[in-house]
Structure 1
Amino acid sequence: MTDNPALLVADSVNRCLALAETWLAWDGRPVLTDGANLWTPAKAARRIQDHLIDHLAEVEALLAGATPTPDAWHGRMVTLDADWARFTELDLAEARSRWPRLAQSYVNRYATVPDAWDVPRDPNWTLRQIAEHVAGVVWYAEQVGDLRFGDSARIR
């Protein structure tokens, strides 16, 4: 048996938190990526959390033999008014509390069903594929980046 694929999610969350620790230095200017996506620390934090929740709900539905409920989030294509808020010490504390608990939920859940990791679930992904996809959550954090040194690259 291989390592629990959800460990990739936990590693990714740790990287997200390491970047989020630098967002306290955010100067209020958004980062523009791919010529069309506007990013702020609060938006990245929202997307990280939404992504973790969405796919955990998907995993639970698949394991219960149910059809996953499609998400209705607007995702990264919109910037909400709340996304313009400062990213404060309390926001970081909330992320430090919430994100690792969500990641641990993946690890714990996957640990209970190792024989199910690679079972085909058409039209959905396998549990392993879901974990690999969710590990990509760090992409959201990377859009804001490391602001520890007053990152001047506002367009990425």
Structure 2
Amino acid sequence: MVDHVLALAATWTAWDGTPAHVDDRVHTPHKAVRRVADHLVDHLAELEARLVGECPLPDHWHASATTTPADLAAFTQEDLDEARSRLGRLARIWANRLSALTEEQLDHSPGDGWTFRQLAFHLTGSTYYADAVGDLGGTP
């Protein structure tokens, strides 16, 4: 998922500042990166809490309904570099955590909610925000 998002993000330096309107939401490059990172963090926090027998904290993100002034900023090469670092590290943390779990833990996870394997598959398909911005035809 992160590779897919970053491949699209490599084209976002060509963004002309016009937000994409998809479904009932507004999408921009910065918002897509923010929402993908938030999604990874939310589910990682859920996984970690459940592993130690805690109830996951509810999230208080404003989610995709809110577009901040920062979301509307130009998406520069520096922003792309930051996205690569941020999302790449989050993907690595997820890969490390999942590889440390047993098959039993993956399929019969403690607490309420999806199994950890289901969470992982959910995240692999979580490209909605990046897909909403799309490929802007820049040079990857």
Smaller-chain TM-score bracket: over 0.9
2:126 aligned counterpart, secondary structure: helix
Alpha carbons of 1:108 and 1:120: their partners in 2 closer, same or farther (altered >3 Å)? closer
Runs of 5+ consecutive residues of structure 2 not aligned to the other structure: none
C-alpha contact 1:57 1:68 (8 A) present in aligned 2: yes
RMSD over aligned CA atoms reads 1.2
- The corresponding residue for 1:40 is 28
- The corresponding residue for 1:7 is none
2:57 aligned counterpart, secondary structure: coil
- Specify the code of the residue in structure 2 equivalent to 1:90: E
- The corresponding residue for 1:23 is 12
- Specify the code of the residue in structure 1 equivalent to 2:100: T
TM-score (norm 2): 0.93
| Separation (CA, whole Å) in 1 of partners of 2:31 and 2:13 | 14
TM-score (norm 1): 0.83
- The corresponding residue for 2:85 is 97
2:21 aligned counterpart, secondary structure: strand
Structure 1 residue ranges (4+ consecutive) displaced by more than 6 angstroms after TM superposition:
none
Shift, 1:123, TM fit:
2.6
- The corresponding residue for 2:48 is 60
Runs of 5+ consecutive residues of structure 1 not aligned to the other structure: 1-11, 150-156
- Specify the code of the residue in structure 2 equivalent to 1:55: H
Shift, 1:82, TM fit:
1.1
Q: Deviations over 1:10-63 (max 9, x none)?
A: xx10000000000000001010001x2111111111101111111111111111
